[in-house]
Amino acid sequence: MLNAQRTQLGQLSAQSAWCTLPHQTCPRKTQQSRPQAWRSSLGLIQPRWQQAQCVLLTKASSRPAAHRRELRLQTAAHSYDYDLIIIGCGVGGHGAALHAVECGLKVAVLEGHDVGGTCVNRGCVPSKALLAASGRVRDMKNAMHLKSLGIKVAGNVEFDRQSIADHANQLASSIKGNLARSLEALGVDMLVGAAKLAGPHSVKYGLPGRVDVGGEITGQDIMIATGSVPFVPPGIPIDGKTVFTSDHALKMDWLPKWIAIIGSGYIGLEFSDVYTALGSEVTFVEAMPDLMPGFDKEIARMAQRLLINPRSIDWHTNVFATKVIPGEPGVKPVIIELTDAKTKQVVDSLEVDACLVATGRAPYTQGLGLSAIGAAPDRRGFVPVNDYMQVLDEKNKVVPHVYCIGDANGKFMLAHAASAQGISAVENMCGRPHVLDHLSVPAAAFTHPEVSFVGHTEEAAREAAQKGGFADKLAVTKTSFKANSKALAEKEGEGLAKMMYRKDTGEILGVHIIGLHAADLIHEASNAMSTKQTVQDLKFSVHTHPTLSEVLDELIKTSHVDPPAQKRPEPKVLDPKLKDLQPLPA
């Protein structure tokens, strides 16, 4: 595949007169010092040779995008260094860059910190390493479960905290390297520096205290993908030692015996899974009336049964942690003052060994210079965008050629959602209007067992049905992992899957799963939703037996769609050989 592309590109280059231009003109090498003269002398065709040049020099796969190029040649009045500048190289920026290259755009990516962003360096990826190790410890220590499978572990299960932490760090750096290489291989320019918008098509970048790094580049389109940082409520001083955010917790410098986790969302939940497996005790502090707000109620109840009650966890709900006094490990406890969410009275105080603040994430948009393009972040710092991911100015008007994706726009703060938004934005730049259906974006918490969902919760579905006037058509179907042979073979029958759908149309409104490998199972549902497949369509899909995928199969098979009122359409003849067959007389 890669070779074929190279050959194709090679032919293109060979036939092209532009390729005779000297190597030094490659923007990769002379980024900051490109002579303005070339640009003017080459005029309109400049972007085109630049692209070809880049391909030639990097010997990388990059498809010619004749279609779009022609379009731009006809319409562009100016010429720019790049077709697209992406600010931020997290999972969102990376996904967008890959897709942009595939669409034939010449792309630069600016990264001021770590390639890979939060997900790879301080989020999903290292936390999965911790969960993998601690999950194994949990399994090995669960003598009852092992015994039920006929296994005995002689002696104690031991682990080395530092080695687990090292595994997480190594995983992060290796994925980080992979990401960087994948972009370099495609001929994407990776520029180091924090970016600041200088105008509608222009970005300045640099690093504080470094004069050798930085410059200004121009682009036809600009994509803001700066992501987010942990949100820390006021009154909580982070010392990085006894009071910390997920950033520090993932380094796992020590294991507190008792840790309070402020916030019981999926970040808090995953960390509680890690900590309890490694022998720590956990206290949740949650401002909402119930733990795991945002989860489907029934799933949350099950999660409470599986992930909270049987473990060394207690909790305080309806309270804010209004004041936190850091302690000293082993010497002085951390003191957390709890204030009732309603009465605003201080109701209790905790004395724990450490405090993890997992109260969500705040957009990282400071210093971006949104005012240069006439836009401003909203109250919470998010960049306002429309459905096409185009940035809106203060009057809610589209700022042309500037897009914002990922955590920075706050629409759906998950790595894969950012990537999907980036792809959607690139489509829009290329003149193929696209709107990402956020309801079909799945999400998961990688606890043991996992929790995953896509679309509406049952509560939200009922509300939507009420509003949409199809309340009587809303149906819910459920199945237990206890009914799945594979789950029973694993002796992991604890789990539940449920699906909300319309009885009249068969449209899937939401699927929620808690149970073994739920995070992997959700994609049949999310893909069906994104491609608008109905329950009826899915009934004909075949699942390998016995697999956990049959949990979804069971949901689909147990759903009942009202027969259509109109006459059934003539059955399509699938096999051409059968075309000549006459229908049987009625």
Partner 1 sequence: MDSLRLHSCGPALLPFRVPRAVPRPRTSITVTNAVKEIFMPALSSTMTEGKIVSWLKSPGDKISKGESVVVVESDKADMDVESFNDGILGSIVTEEGGTANVGEAIAFIAETEAELEEAKAKAGSNGAAPAPAPAAQAAVPAEAPQAAAAPAPAPAATATAPPPPAPSAPAPAAPPAAAPVKRSDGRVIATPYAKKLAQQLKVDLASLAGSGPAGRITASDVEAASNGAAGGNGAAPAAAPAASQVQQAAKPAGSAQPPQRAPPAPTAAPGSVPEGAPTTVSELKGRTEPFTSMQAAIAKNMIQSLKVPEFRVSYTITTGKLDALSKKLKPKGVTMTALLAKAAGTALAKHEVVNAACTPDGQGITYNDHINVAVAVSMPDGGLITPVLKDAHSTDIYQLSRSWSDLVKRSRVKQLKPDEYNSGTFTISNLGMFGADTFDAILQPGTGAILAVGGSKPTVTADDQGRICVLKQMTCNLTCDHRIMSGVAAAEFMQTFKAIIEDPDQLTF
Tokens of residue 300, six digits: 């949350």
CB of 456 to partner 1, least distance (A): 19
Q: Tell the residue number behind the tokens 């450490």, with chain if given.
A: 354
264 is in an annotated binding site: yes
Q: Does residue 171 come out as left (phi exceeding 0), alpha (psi in the -120 to 50 range) or beta?
A: alpha
DSSP state of 385: B
Q: Tell the residue number behind the tokens 């039920």, with chain if given.
A: 148
Q: Give the residue with the Cβ less far from partner 1, 241 or 434.
A: 241
CB of 162 to partner 1, least distance (A): 6
CB of 154 to partner 1, least distance (A): 8
Of 76, 70, 6, 410, residue with least CA distance to 228: 410
CB of 586 to partner 1, least distance (A): 36
Q: Give the residue with the Cβ less far from partner 1, 524 or 550.
A: 550
Q: Give the residue with the Cβ less far from partner 1, 309 or 531.
A: 309
Q: Does residue 124 come out as left (phi exceeding 0), alpha (psi in the -120 to 50 range) or beta?
A: alpha
The kind and range of the H/E element at 179 are: helix 161-185
Q: Give the residue with the Cβ less far from partner 1, 485 or 544.
A: 485
3-state SS, residue 440: helix
Q: Give the residue with the Cβ less far from partner 1, 273 or 407.
A: 273
CB of 231 to partner 1, least distance (A): 24
Q: Give the residue with the Cβ less far from partner 1, 28 or 241.
A: 241
Q: How far apart are CA 61 and CA 8, in angstroms?
A: 9
Q: How far apart are CA 487 and CA 399, in angstroms?
A: 51
239 is in an annotated binding site: no
CB of 464 to partner 1, least distance (A): 21
Q: How far apart are CA 177 and CA 86, in angstroms?
A: 19
The angle formed by the CA atoms of residues 102, 106 and 107, to the nearest 5 degrees, is 90
> Do residues 454 and 441 touch, judged by C-beta distance below 8 A?
yes
242 is in an annotated binding site: no
What percent of the residues of the chain are helix, what percent strand, and what percent coil, each to the nearest 5? 40, 25, 40
Q: Give the residue with the Cβ less far from partner 1, 284 or 403.
A: 284
The angle formed by the CA atoms of residues 419, 408 and 527, to the nearest 5 degrees, is 30
**CB count in 10 Å sphere of residue 502:** 21
Q: How far apart are CA 225 and CA 409, in angstroms?
A: 9
90 is in an annotated binding site: no
CB of 500 to partner 1, least distance (A): 13
Sheet holding 313-316, edge to edge: 243-245, 354-357, 258-262, 281-285, 313-316
- Which one-letter amino acid corresponds to residue 538? L
CB of 559 to partner 1, least distance (A): 11
- Pairing verdict, β 398-404 and 443-445: unpaired
> Do residues 31 and 189 touch, judged by C-beta distance below 8 A?
yes
> Do residues 174 and 189 touch, judged by C-beta distance below 8 A?
no
**R_g of the chain computed on alpha carbons:** 27
263 is in an annotated binding site: yes
Task: State residue 337 phi and psi, 5-degree precision.
Answer: -90, 125
User: Does the bond joining 449 to the residue before it have cis omega, within 30 degrees of 0?
Assistant: yes
Residues forming contacts to partner 1 in the complex (CB under 8 A) are 137-138, 141-144, 147, 154, 156, 158-162, 241, 253-255, 257-258, 276-283, 298, 301, 305, 309-314, 329-331, 333, 351, 353, 476-480, 482-485, 488, 496, 554, 558
- Pairing verdict, β 346-352 and 474-480: unpaired
Clarify whether 167 is annotated catalytic: no
Q: Give the residue with the Cβ less far from partner 1, 192 or 483.
A: 483
Which residues are annotated binding-site positions for NAD(+)? 263-270, 286, 360
Catalytic site positions? 545
Which residues are annotated binding-site positions for FAD? 128, 226-228, 407, 413-416
